[in-house]
Structure 1
């Protein structure tokens, strides 16, 4: 059963400067980080935020970039499937969850775990990626962006 779903607004057209700033922020944050890791982070945040638009986009992008079905399918259960993800990826996913669920805080343990795998510049960019995908999720969910549309 399908129901008609339409977006509340076209954010890109309604706020083109904000949209471009988000594009620029995302590009700057991703620069120099492993593409697969970035996609895993974007998938996990989008799952937590229930952003169907971004979830479809980033699972599709991850697969196109060569990510395995098993890993894409297990991102939401990475805690229970640690052998599918490197220590570095697990640290990034833990940080993603902590930053996305910010009211719970980012513990010293989660931050230190990430800092073990990323130098300061990489960690700053990873935080930027997490920030950016959370902002994109909030834009898409708020405007009721339709998955699979431009």
Structure 2
């Protein structure tokens, strides 16, 4: 594997960082935000983002059980509450887009747990992490470069 470590254009990186920060702030739940970005990063196989966001999640106090069970959240029983499950389902629907759209029932379930602005920020966060994943995977950035 060839690592393509040319620096990302500063303006692009700043814009992407601004979108991510605004979405996280607007969502208002840092721990949930990390679960969302971790799940998208798992689906996108972005080792750099997984490494980074696992460290952030631990700093925020996200429990090891949730981190361990995230890949199987649908089968994890009460490890995730209804709000977390709705956010993770929406994350998967937006990340994978296998049906070329987000199913109404998945969106409606998220809308039942998040008011309009928070739902918009959740969608923005999912889009932002997918953007980061694609940039990091395309450049083959290995894990281990993140320092808090």
Settle same-fold status: TM greater than 0.5: yes
Q: Which runs of 5+ in 2 are unaligned?
A: none
Which residues in structure 2 correspond to 1:1-150 (within 5 Å)? Answer: 7-12=3-8, 15-32=9-26, 33-104=28-99, 105-150=101-146
In 2, the alpha carbon distance for the partners of 1:62 and 1:52 equals: 15
Q: State the Cα deviation string for residues 72-130 of structure 1 (Å, max 9, x = none).
A: 01111000003001100000000000000123221110000000000000000000000
Runs of 4+ deviating beyond 3 Å? none
1 CA distance for matches of 2:66 and 2:91? 16
How far apart are 1:68 and its partner, in Å? Answer: 1.0
Aligned equivalents of 2:62, 2:80: Cα separation in 1: 12
TM-score scaled by structure 2?
A: 0.93
Please tell me the root mean square deviation across aligned C-alpha atoms, in Å: 1.2
TM-score (norm 1): 0.92
